[in-house]
Every structure is written in structure tokens, then in C-alpha cells.
Amino acid sequence: MLSAGTARARFPGGGRTGTRHVQATDQTMDASKIPLTPSAIAWPLAAATALLVAANLGLQAYRLIAHQEHVVGLAMLSMDGENNLPALFSTLLLCGAALILTLIAVLERRHQGADVSKWALLAAGFALMSLDEALSFHERAIAPLRALLGGQHLGIFFFAWVIPGIALVCVLGAYFLRFLLRLPRRTAIAFVISAAIYLGGALGVELVEGWWREAHGHRNLVYHALVSLEEGMEMAGVIAFIHALLSYISQRYGEVRFVFAGARHHAAASGPASRSR
């Protein structure tokens, strides 16, 4: 924010008029601020996740207990489906994380940070994850991979995409290890916790879920409880990561200001220099 001394230097001879203009400008800028705290963003997202999990479990339980094939609202709220509300919510979470990572990459570049490429790569990775969540690319790999493994008695590898998924996680973990160690300790711990929650659902629960589905099928409450746990952990992991990213921005930069195109020109045109004509 411009100080009064700086403003007077820009408008010599403005006297009290220049000072009053700066004070008014400061008040306007304060009124335009939108203070954000990580918790104020994370908690509503967490509440939405809990509601989606509860709705899915409730509707699936009703369908199975009442022996109803078609339950109103289930297709839109099922966590075992695609192109519905939970899928959209997960896509938006991943997209939000990608946007915040992009913002951090831009800020790090302007401050000549040492890990700009790592932040940018993370942003690209989350953008791809968002696209995958929307279009289900990894789901399409299950059948070909399952055929390569023999197609039967796969156990925990019933959802065969987890095999390349685990390999990819190991490679990326080794690649980002030094980057993680250079982060502030609190941020690094938060990143590890959020990754553990997300991967625990996306890979860990998915392994158990695959084993159960191959042995017992999908028309049972245990299977849908596992699906709810998996999807809920994925959403919670991304929300925890978003919270960690926002906390990092808060601790490292304190305040991030967006200046829209033409804003400075408008401020200059409405200043005391223009009013004195």
C-alpha cells in the first residue's frame, strides 16, 4: 500500500489535498480487501465432503435394504459413478489446488525462489489430476491392464490401474523429496499429512476395495462403505493440501494483491492532479 509520503512525492504541491486523497485512497483499498483465512475456506469444503459421503451412504443403504434399483437422487450423488455431483466437487477441488499452486509459482518467480519449477510442475500435475477426475482416464486403463495380468483372481489388484499408480507415486516422491525438505517444517509436515490422506484413499482403500469387489461383488453395503471411505479420503486430502498451501502463502507473503487491468490508470485519473484542472 502506498504511504502518504510516497503519494506526496508523486504529487508535489498537492498539500493537504494530496494527503486527503491518499487517506481516501487507503480507505478505499482497505474496503476493497477480502481477508481470507485457510480455515475459513477449508471447513466449508470439509462440511460439503461430509454431506456428500453421508448422502451417498444413506441412499446406497436404502437402495440395498429396500431392494430398489432406481432411487431418486442416487445417480446424481453416487460416489461410485461418474459425471455427477461428487465427481464435479472432486474436480473443482483439484482445479482449485492447481490454481493456488500456479499462484505460488508466479510469486516464487517474482521473488526469485529456488523451486519455481517444482511449484509449476505440481500445478501442472494437479491440473492433469483434475482433468482425469472429470474424464476418468485411469478408469479406462483398468480393463487392458487387467487383461495383461490374466483377468482373474487379481485380489487387491482387481482395479489394475493401482500398479502403475503406485510406481508413479514412488518416482514422484523421490523426485520431490529435496523440495519437500527445503520447505518450512510446518508446511512440509502438512504436505506429508495431506498426501498420506489422499493416497491412503486413492491407493490404499482402493486395494482393499478391489479385493472385496472381486470376492463379494458390488451389491453390498461394505463395498459402498469402502467407496465412500476412498472418495472421502481423497477429498479430505485435497482440502488439507489447499489449507497447507494457503497457510504457506500467508506465512511467506502475508498479503497477495490482485490489480486488475486499468485500475492504476483509473486511480491516477481520479487523483488530485486531475481534479485541479
Query: For 88-135, what is each residue's pLDDT tens digit?
Result: 999 999 999 999 999 999 999 998 888 999 999 999 999 999 999 999
Which pLDDT score is estimated for 174?
97
pTM over 0.75: yes
- Helix, strand, or coil (residue 255): coil
Out of 25-34, 57-66, 128-137, 226-235, pick the least confident. Answer: 25-34
Computed over every residue of the chain, the mean pLDDT equals 86
Sign of CA dihedral 165, 170, 176, 177: positive
The contacts of residue 224 (CB under 8 Å, 6+ apart) are 56, 57, 60, 61, 64, 79, 80, 218
- The CA distances from residue 80 to 39, 85, 139, 268, in Å, are 29, 11, 12, 55
Mean pLDDT of 166-193: 97
Sign of CA dihedral 268, 269, 270, 275: positive
Which pLDDT score is estimated for 22?
42
Mean pLDDT of 79-91: 94
Checking if the pLDDT of 31 tops 70, the result is: no
Out of 40-49, 179-188, 233-242, 252-261, pick the least confident. Answer: 252-261
Checking if the pLDDT of 273 tops 60, the result is: no
The contacts of residue 86 (CB under 8 Å, 6+ apart) are 52, 56, 77, 78, 79, 231
Which pLDDT score is estimated for 27?
55
